[in-house]
């Protein structure tokens, strides 16, 4: 893949994202023209109604959809690279579920105390990604410990263990949420299915530092993901400390996933679909696959959120359900393809 071809393809992908954002921001219960959007953004004859719809509801939602898609797409690429398994995904491996369970525990134990003490929402929202990281890390450690055989990672056991851990954490989340008050239970249930309809700028501030710090680290180590596709003996002969580098990449991807799960709940299959689509577009070199996976993830989540917002309007369904409707057939297709 020449750099010129890569730039053309990623530019085309950004153009599609721009179109998806345009459709998302102008359509809904309160329709607007592109002129209304542009004049509001540029502060030309500002209108209170347009300000409310764009800055309080639609724009934060679109930005979070883009950031979540970016993070999950890149994290999925890393996990597939580390495990050398094209069917690996943060959701399937249970990392999403671990992070989600930890955040449900946080909601159950601490959020009510923060509200009761009159603490600002800022505190709880900024702490949530940290709790998610602890849960995601715990899930990853459990999965790794069960998948480690004869000094190396058994990828088949990894997938099976991940599915079991995901189910276990999902059941635990449901059990904890059932102990909540009725209103909190409804909020937690919608959140667990993957939802960004209650997005606000505080969520964006909470997740941005994680993405700004961890994604550049992942990209700087993109060449290692290329080497990890080789036999381990060959990689070791190059003087690369395999397990150390795998651990760094895995920790970075867990951090990214946790930040995404903290603001959007558990959205599965983006980390599965985006890397495969990216590899079909730009080849197998990870310095191209990583950014393209992020951009494809952005497009998938923005488009899915628009469908979730409009298909049953004025009612909304969680974006995680739309992504699952797209992702399950794609996963089965990949499964059949890998067997063939």
- Asked if 299 and 70 count as a contact pair (C-beta separation under 8 A), the reply is no
DSSP 109-174: IIIHHHHHTT--HHHHHHHHHHHHHHHHHHHHHHHHHHHEETTEE-HHHHHHHHHHHHHHHHHHHH
The low-confidence residues of the chain, meaning pLDDT below 50, are 113-119
pLDDT of residue 339: 64
43 Ramachandran zone, left/alpha/beta (phi>0; psi -120 to 50): left
Our count of domains for the chain comes to 1
pLDDT of residue 117: 43
Helix, strand, coil percent values for the chain (each to nearest 5): 80, 0, 20
pLDDT of residue 214: 95
Q: How many CB atoms lie within 10 A of CB 155?
A: 15
pLDDT of residue 297: 95
Looking at the chain, the whole-number percentage of residues with pLDDT higher than 90 is 28
Look at strands 148-149 and 152-153 and give their pairing. Answer: antiparallel
* Residue 17 vs residues 268, 294, 316: alpha-carbon distances, Å: 20, 12, 22
The CATH number assigned to the domain holding 86 equals 1.10.3470.10
Q: Give me the residue label for tokens 């067997």.
A: 339
Length of the chain in terms of residues written: 340
pLDDT of residue 281: 92
pLDDT of residue 212: 95
Q: Give me the residue label for tokens 């102990």.
A: 179
Tens-digit pLDDT profile for residues 21-49: 999 998 877 778 888 888 888 888 777 87
pLDDT of residue 233: 73
What is the span of the domain harbouring residue 110?
3-339
First to last CA, the chain: 26
């Amino acid at each position: 893949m020449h750099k010129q071809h890569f730039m053309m393809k990623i530019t085309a992908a950004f153009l599609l994202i721009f179109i998806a954002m345009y459709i998302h921001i102008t359509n809904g219960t309160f329709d607007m023209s592109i002129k209304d959007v542009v004049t509001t953004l540029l502060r030309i004859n500002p209108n209170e109604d347009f300000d409310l719809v764009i800055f309080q509801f639609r724009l934060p939602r679109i930005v979070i959809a883009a950031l979540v898609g970016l993070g999950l797409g890149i994290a999925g690429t890393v996990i597939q690279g580390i495990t050398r398994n094209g069917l690996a995904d943060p959701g399937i491996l249970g990392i999403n579920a671990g992070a989600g369970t930890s955040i449900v525990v946080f909601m159950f134990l601490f959020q009510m105390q923060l509200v009761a003490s009159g603490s600002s929402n800022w505190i709880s929202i900024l702490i949530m990604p940290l709790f998610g990281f602890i849960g995601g890390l715990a899930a990853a450690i459990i999965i790794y410990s069960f998948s480690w055989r004869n000094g190396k990672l058994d990828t088949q056991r990894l997938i099976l263990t991940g599915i079991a851990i995901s189910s276990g954490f999902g059941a635990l989340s449901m059990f904890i949420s059932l102990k909540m008050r009725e209103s909190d239970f409804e909020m937690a249930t919608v959140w667990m299915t993957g939802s960004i309809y209650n997005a606000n700028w505080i969520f964006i501030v909470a997740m941005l530092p994680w993405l700004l710090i961890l994604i550049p680290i992942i990209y700087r180590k993109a060449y290692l993901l290329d080497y990890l596709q080789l036999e381990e003996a060959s990689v070791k002969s190059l003087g690369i400390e395999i397990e150390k580098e795998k651990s760094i990449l895995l920790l970075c991807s867990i951090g990214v996933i946790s930040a995404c799960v903290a603001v959007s709940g558990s959205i599965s299959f983006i980390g599965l679909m985006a890397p495969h689509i990216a590899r079909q577009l730009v080849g197998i070199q990870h310095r191209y696959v990583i950014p393209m996976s992020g951009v494809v993830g952005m497009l998938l989540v923005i488009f899915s959120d628009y469908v979730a917002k409009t298909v049953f309007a004025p009612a909304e369904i969680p974006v995680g359900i739309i992504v699952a409707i797209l992702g399950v057939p794609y996963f089965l297709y990949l499964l059949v393809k890998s067997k063939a």
